[in-house]
Structure 1
């Protein structure tokens, strides 16, 4: 085995770094030091240990730590606790929960998905990461609750054939933080359910999230059905929607690149 691919136990890493075993364990669980689990033990390549440096200093300050890469490694490993520790560390460095979604979790998920499409990752890794992400959002979502009366109701969902649930959950949390009540329909929502939600809840906006291009036609069908029912503005977003012009061609009123932009767009609309 080449020296740089030698697999080391955490105790061996601690010995080489002259630090306590738990220090190395913390580096692994917070994503500072890449590791894979073999059986019941974490293992680190000699190359990764070498790149860490001889005596690691304190965790990087805000703006220096690549939280997204750290999180990606932990999610791919299916390490929920380590993933949560990365998010906690990023917030301790000064990131607000909204920025954690936008700058840490979303980029990590995007890179994992892109790696799979490039043939550089496995479907098992993507599923492990998605499962961890669902649980992370469940824990982090409580930090987005806004106090006081809501500013309006928003119906949010993905059209038929669009099964990506995570983007909707993150946008929903950011809209709640901005003071909106969210009717979260989830992913792969029948067109009739969008129409029924508009009829029953009288929202100020209907948000439609489209991640895959295969769902663009059904997204346009959702817009047409909603417009036939009411004049409620329709906001499009998601990776498959390119810009405001594309959203308009799908039948939308507006476009938002992410949850923060969606909150701003809706706030401006209701003023």
Structure 2
């Protein structure tokens, strides 16, 4: 990241001649919360990030302090950005058997020059969040949740072919779900966005035995690990995995991002896990990734 999120928030707030109190009123939070955002001691959730982008009439990339990689999109293919379908509209299209309609809307955003990250943060991540909420309250069935998830996976595969590859740096991240966890879309999104940010990033899934995972990590020496867990019953297996990693001296200080509803809900109980941070959103995960690898993990 070129600058910390807080610096960019302060820049846009002052550019728009707004006080912290005025921004706080728009977001429905206290002035202290905005001050904490600006000094990087707190980070807004997905809904507030989108609200900030709309308030300052800026893309999420600019709010987060990064440049979009859209140079490879020909000017002839660029269009004026249009408002994406809301999560509710996308769910209605997908469950109505019109997922092609939803994809065409996403594709128009691509052709108008919208970066992959903004599509993930403004369209696909909110769609997944709403899907989880609807399933939790019993408004949609497990089968319908699977239909939506399958459609999103299809969108992601298509999007990966729409954006040019970024020359990878020497930063390496290994991404996986914790043992027993089958929900993997969120961690795969993080993998995709890390790749767009120039990382070498690999997704292993949940089928790699712990001993073989550790063997791989000892050999690859990644700069960062990212694990996700959606179901609360899998949080314990995630903690056990971290403790197992820490028993290996070369892996004792490797930074770890923990994402997914299970870790988010159990955030308070994870404070004793060294060099681990919980990401409540994709945007927060990307910022944490840059923050955690500022120091050298491995000895020469």
TM-based fold match above 0.5: yes
SS of 1:168 mapped into structure 2 = helix
- Alpha-carbon distance between aligned partners in 2 of 1:71 and 1:81, rounded to the nearest angstrom: 10
Number of paired residues?
Answer: 211
> Could you tell me how far 1:155 is from its partner in structure 2?
0.9
> Could you tell me how far 1:79 is from its partner in structure 2?
3.3
Question: Partner residue of 1:204?
Answer: 223
| C-alpha contact (below 8 Å) 1:216/1:240 kept by paired residues | yes
| C-alpha contact (below 8 Å) 1:84/1:136 kept by paired residues | yes
Question: Partner residue of 1:153?
Answer: 172
| C-alpha contact (below 8 Å) 1:175/1:182 kept by paired residues | yes
| C-alpha contact (below 8 Å) 2:184/2:228 kept by paired residues | no
Moved more, 172-181 or 98-107: 98-107
Q: Of 145, 169, 189, which residue of structure 2 is paired with 1:170?
A: 189
Question: Partner residue of 1:269?
Answer: 292
> Could you tell me how far 1:251 is from its partner in structure 2?
5.2
- Alpha-carbon distance between aligned partners in 2 of 1:143 and 1:181, rounded to the nearest angstrom: 19
Question: Partner residue of 1:240?
Answer: 262
TM-score by length of 2: 0.63
Question: Partner residue of 1:225?
Answer: 244
> Could you tell me how far 1:200 is from its partner in structure 2?
2.2
SS of 2:263 mapped into structure 1 = coil
Residues 258 and 170 (structure 1), Cα distance of their counterparts in 2 relative to 1, 3 Å cut: same
> Could you tell me how far 1:145 is from its partner in structure 2?
5.2
> Could you tell me how far 1:245 is from its partner in structure 2?
4.5
1:122-155, Cα deviation, whole Å (9 max, x unpaired): 2221121111111111111234554324241111
Residues 155 and 91 (structure 1), Cα distance of their counterparts in 2 relative to 1, 3 Å cut: same
Question: Partner residue of 1:121?
Answer: 140
Question: Partner residue of 1:38?
Answer: none
The 4+ residue runs of structure 1 with deviation greater than 6 A are none
Question: Partner residue of 2:276?
Answer: 253
Question: Partner residue of 1:47?
Answer: none
1:93-129, Cα deviation, whole Å (9 max, x unpaired): 6642112112211211222232122121122211211
Identify unmatched segments of 5+ residues in structure 2.
1-79, 295-300
Residues 220 and 77 (structure 1), Cα distance of their counterparts in 2 relative to 1, 3 Å cut: same
SS of 1:163 mapped into structure 2 = coil
Residues 211 and 249 (structure 1), Cα distance of their counterparts in 2 relative to 1, 3 Å cut: farther
Question: Partner residue of 1:130?
Answer: 149
Question: Partner residue of 2:129?
Answer: 110
1:197-223, Cα deviation, whole Å (9 max, x unpaired): 211211001111111111100000110
TM-score by length of 1: 0.69
Structure 1 or 2, whichever has the larger Rg, is 1
1:42-83, Cα deviation, whole Å (9 max, x unpaired): xxxxxxxxxxxxxxxxxxx86855432222222223433222
